[in-house]
């Protein structure tokens, strides 16, 4: 089981600021692993397509307009797309 899986399973059960603060080192390790995976995938896709820059999203949830008021997402996410012709 990867550091990502371990951290996200714990976060799902303890989705509060106090727990997150106490486990910030685990988060940093899991985030570094996720970022590395996203970058490898992006580099491989870039060999075949012209891509927009990679956007890696934060784990902090915007709770202002959400029914789910937990402060953290229980996943890591990123986005890219094909470059649009001029």
Residue 31 CB contacts under 8 Å (≥ 6 apart), including other chains:
59, 76
Per-residue pLDDT at 25 exceeds 80: yes
**Alpha-carbon distance 23 to 10, whole Å?**
10
**Alpha-carbon distance 73 to 28, whole Å?**
15
**Alpha-carbon distance 18 to 38, whole Å?**
28
User: What are the DSSP E strand ranges found in 1-86?
Assistant: 55-56, 78-79
**Alpha-carbon distance 74 to 7, whole Å?**
9
What letter would DSSP give residue 52?
P
pTM to 2 decimal places:
0.88
pLDDT tens column, 58-85: 999 998 988 989 999 999 999 999 998 8
pLDDT tens column, 28-38: 999 999 999 99
């Amino acid at each position: 089981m990867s550091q990502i899986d371990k951290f996200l399973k714990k976060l799902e059960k303890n989705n509060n600021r106090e727990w997150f603060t106490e486990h910030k080192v685990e988060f940093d390790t899991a985030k570094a692993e996720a970022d590395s995976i996203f970058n490898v995938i992006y580099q491989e896709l870039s060999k075949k397509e012209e891509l927009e820059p990679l956007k890696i999203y934060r784990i902090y949830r915007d709770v202002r307009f959400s029914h789910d008021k937990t402060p953290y997402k229980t996943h890591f996410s990123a986005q890219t797309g094909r470059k649009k012709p001029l």
